[in-house]
Amino acid sequence: MSKTVIFLGPPGAGKGTQSQLLKERDNFIQISTGDILREAVKNQTSLGLQAKKFMDEGKLVPDDLILNIISEKLEELKDKNIIFDGFPRTVAQAEGLKDMLSKIGRKIDAVILFDITDEEVVKRLSGRRVCPNCGAVYHLIYNPPKNDNVCDKCGTPLIQREDDREEVIRKRLEVYHQQTAPLIDYYKDVLIKINATLSPEDIYKHIKSVL
């Protein structure tokens, strides 16, 4: 039976880093609404044009746009192990997901809550650098690339995300506490809290032990 897992937690908690490990090592497919939206913005699609202003301000993109993305993705991924990374982010999105999953006979196996303080998030996001070509994620201090500011995997110069500037980070945290944190209660029956301040390998081991 294929697994359906949600990674819940503030921006910068390490959800993408762990999704990458599970993708490389354990045959999971990662559905990151943030990555899908950034790609749409880059390609100036209709979705991208609608989403851009919300993303630049650190606000959530409207639920109907997000649920459309997910419904298209689910069609392609019927028998796969899925991690939802950064989705759902509102109770309305969680309700929409529940309906879509029940139509295809799937259920949520686990919601992993990445537990971390706002101060640590600010440190992580202000030092985050990403590869615009292959999506690899680094940190200037915690996980630096081997060669100065160049991706280890594909050699492309790394960039800082537009929304990883301090004033936008603060806004994204506020949005998380107001709109996304209510999901902790919503998913209490399947919630597994992990300490997101451990090393990436220790967090990975913890996640593997509960899945």
What amino acid positions are annotated as catalytic residues?
Answer: 15, 89, 128, 161, 172
- Of 154-193, binders to ligand ADP (CB under 6 A) are none
Strand partners of residue 30? 83
CA-CA distance, 147 to 134, in Å (whole number)?
A: 16
Judged by beta carbon, residue 62 or residue 157, the one nearer ligand AMP is 62
Q: Kindly give the residue spans of alpha helices, DSSP state H, lying in the chain.
A: 15-26, 33-42, 46-56, 63-76, 91-103, 118-126, 166-175, 182-186, 200-210
Among 29, 91, 92, 137, binds ligand ADP (CB under 6 A): 137
Site string for ligand ADP, 17-56 (x = CB under 6 A): x---------------------------------------
Give the tokens for residue 184.
């902790």
What is the residue whose two structure tokens read 């949520």? 108
CB-based contact 182:190 (threshold 8 Å): no
Task: Name the site residues for ligand AMP (rule: CB under 6 A).
Answer: 11, 33-34, 37, 54-55, 58-61, 66, 86-89, 93, 163, 172
Residues binding ligand ADP: number (CB under 6 A) = 18
- Smallest gap from Cβ 38 to ligand ADP, in A, equals 12
Interaction between residue 58 and ligand ADP (CB under 6 A): no
- Smallest gap from Cβ 143 to ligand ADP, in A, equals 4
In three-state secondary structure terms, 200 is helix
Give the tokens for residue 104.
């295809």
CA-CA distance, 54 to 50, in Å (whole number)?
A: 8
Give the tokens for residue 109.
């196996």
Q: Which residue is nearest to ligand AMP (CB)?
A: 34
Among 89, 106, 124, 172, binds ligand ADP (CB under 6 A): 124
- Smallest gap from Cβ 50 to ligand AMP, in A, equals 11
What are the E-state strand segments in the chain?
A: 4-8, 28-32, 81-85, 110-115, 128-130, 137-139, 191-195
CA-CA distance, 183 to 207, in Å (whole number)?
A: 19
Give the tokens for residue 52.
């851009």
- Smallest gap from Cβ 1 to ligand AMP, in A, equals 25
- Options 22-30, 55-63, 98-106, 195-203: segment touching ligand ADP (CB under 6 A): 195-203
Residues that bind ligand ADP (CB under 6 A): 11-17, 124, 127-128, 137-139, 142-143, 199-200, 203
